[in-house]
């Protein structure tokens, strides 16, 4: 098991592609039209100062201290262009958030945004630009929203996977300070979204997670009987961003190798108070 865990830490990209069939399709080889989708690998699974069991290489912590990562996968199909457009049209959302737990309290929180109040949501804005004949409708995804919020408590939709990792009291304090000091007013697709917040927090716990995907986009595609143009300016040919689907596949793989555990059933059995959007200074942990 120790050897397998070390092999897994050295080959995260191979593992994630092999597990892609379990949920949504998160890999698409290069297509004749120029489309491809590839999860972005990481250089090292654990930080140099990570708290690991010397016998197994798995994370360890102090009693009662845990980091939970929760994902609601959108199950988008990245195998080819048309499949992705259809899956986004059918289910245009996904989410990642976390729970930070100590023997005295439990804080469930996340980063939300793209609320569609002042400006159209990302997927709506792209489709609207397509309808308007914009030469670069995909450029809408490069914009940063100013409607980010600090989410406290459970969202109104259940997670598809919940992963728990032990942490030390020192890591707990470091993560708590980060969550309270972090700025949440900005929200973007290419950076600073819900999954970025979660993986940045995990890095403070000493573990690096696979969570980003690289899309190579064809300039145009036939869709529903018409030619849909994505971009004219080649700067929009490649899109990289964090996505709950990729993160969930990595977390499931980690749990299978004994790095953290699957606690989805436990979480779904808990009462479901409604989440609120607030400022970190108003947080009251449970």
Q: What is the pLDDT of residues 206-232, one digit of tens each?
A: 999 999 999 999 999 887 778 889 999
Contact 41, 49 (CB under 8 A): no
Beta strands at 212-216 and 36-39: parallel, antiparallel or unpaired:
antiparallel
User: pLDDT at position 23, please?
Assistant: 55
Report the predicted TM-score, pTM, of the whole model to 2 decimal places: 0.88
Distance CA 14, CA 10 (A): 9
Q: Do the Cβ atoms of 72 and 158 come closer than 8 Å?
A: yes
Residue of 71, 104, 271 whose CA lies nearest to 176:
104
| 87 membership: H or E segment, kind and range | helix 81-90
Low-confidence ranges of the chain (pLDDT < 50): 1-22, 285-286
Domain spans, the chain: 2-282
**What residues does 171 pair with on adjacent strands?**
none
């Amino acid at each position: 098991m120790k050897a397998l865990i070390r092999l897994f830490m050295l080959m995260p990209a191979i593992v994630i592609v092999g597990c892609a069939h379990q949920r949504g399709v998160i890999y698409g080889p290069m297509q004749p039209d120029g489309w491809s989708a590839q999860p972005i690998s990481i250089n090292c699974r654990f930080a140099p100062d990570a708290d690991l069991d010397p016998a197994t290489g798995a994370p360890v912590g102090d009693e009662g201290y845990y980091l939970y990562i929760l994902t609601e996968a959108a199950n988008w199909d990245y195998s080819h262009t048309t499949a992705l457009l259809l899956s986004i049209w059918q289910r245009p959302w996904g989410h990642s958030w976390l729970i930070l737990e100590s023997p005295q309290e439990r804080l469930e929180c996340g980063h939300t945004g793209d609320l569609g109040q002042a400006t159209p949501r990302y997927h709506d804005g792209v489709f609207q630009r397509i309808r308007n004949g914009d030469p670069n409708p995909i450029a809408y995804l490069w914009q940063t929203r100013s409607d980010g919020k600090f989410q406290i408590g459970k969202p109104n939709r259940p997670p598809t996977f919940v992963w728990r990792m032990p942490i030390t009291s020192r890591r707990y304090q470091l993560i708590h300070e980060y969550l309270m000091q972090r700025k949440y007013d900005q929200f973007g697709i290419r950076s600073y979204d819900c999954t970025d917040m979660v993986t940045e927090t995990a890095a403070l716990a000493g573990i690096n997670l696979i969570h980003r995907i690289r899309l190579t986009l064809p300039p145009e595609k036939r869709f529903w009987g018409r030619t849909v143009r994505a971009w004219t300016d080649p700067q929009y040919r490649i899109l990289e961003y964090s996505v709950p689907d990729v993160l969930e596949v990595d977390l499931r793989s980690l749990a299978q190798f004994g790095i953290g555990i699957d606690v989805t059933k436990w979480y779904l059995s808990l009462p479901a108070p409604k989440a609120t959007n607030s400022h970190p200074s108003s947080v009251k942990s449970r």
